[in-house]
Amino acid sequence: MIHKITLYTATLIIAVAMMTSCTTDPNSPGVEYMPDMYRSPAVEAYVDYGEDPYYVTEEVAAEQRRTMSARKPVAGSIAFKGDDKAFGLPYAYANTPEGYELAGEELKSPLITTASNIEAGAANFELMCTHCHGLEGKGDGAISKNGHIMGIPDFSIKLKDLPEGKMYHTLIYGKGLMGSHASQISQKGLWQIIQYVQVLQNGGQMPTFDSNGVALVTETENNN
């Protein structure tokens, strides 16, 4: 009996709600119970609109647009943009031939070459790069074998002397038929991939590591 009364009551409430939300005006949307969910106001970031953003005059809004309402970060916060070009945001080099060359000359990896970084780079390379470049970086990935993209260079031959700055620049912006990977992999992850590519440039020969897994710097690298 109680169940039936509850059912009847619920049905009655729904019917009343439907009837009261209707209107004879064909241009009226009827009663909107949550208008904010249908038509949210266009609110600009960092603008303090006060209690009600719906009813701010244009003069007030124009004045508030000139004042940042965001607070200063608390002590100890990590800045979004760093001074280091290798990790700074936005990226310091332009997407131009001149920017590409300049990155090759100036941009150096912020990461120490370690076994763990190379291992992480190899994992990301296998996930993101092998379909074009192949497992050993010889340009013989599945896309190349299927004939979709031809002429992908071998890291150990044509790209053997490609500097790390140009590699990073290419990963950020893309180059030729290769798209940007900046939104898919973290900055650290990109540099780890480059460490692994440097192994492929060396014919797959891993560097010599010390007892802590840090690569030993050769005399040639010191001279560079």
Residues 64-119 have pLDDT tens digits of 555 555 556 677 765 555 556 777 777 889 999 999 999 999 999 999 999 999 99
Q: How far is CA 15 from the centre of its chain?
A: 49
* Mean pLDDT calculated for residue range 47-67: 57
Supply 18's token pair: 């439907």
Give 61-70 pLDDT, tens digit per residue.
666 555 555 5
Of 167 and 145, more confident: 167
Closest CA to 107 of 92, 94, 96, 121: 92
pLDDT of residue 218: 60
The CATH code of domain 97-223 reads: 1.10.760.10
Residue 29 has pLDDT above 70, yes or no: no
Tell me, what's the pLDDT at 57? 65
pLDDT score at 12: 77
pTM: 0.61
> Mean pLDDT throughout 176-203?
93
Give which of 178, 88, 167, 179 is closest to 121, Cα–Cα: 167
What pLDDT band is residue 213 in, cutting at 50, 70 and 90?
confident
Q: Do 124 and 192 contact (CB within 8 A), yes or no? A: yes
Please indicate whether residue 27 or residue 208 has the higher confidence score (pLDDT): 208
pLDDT of residue 77: 66
Q: Which positions ≥6 away from 149 have C-beta within 8 Å?
A: 132, 143, 177
pLDDT of residue 51: 45
Per-domain boundaries in the chain: 2-65, 97-223
CB 64 within 8 A of CB 76: no
Q: Is the model's pLDDT at 123 over the cut of 70? A: yes
Residues 6+ apart with CB under 8 A from 177: 149
Half-sphere exposure of 181 (CA within 13 A, CB side): 22
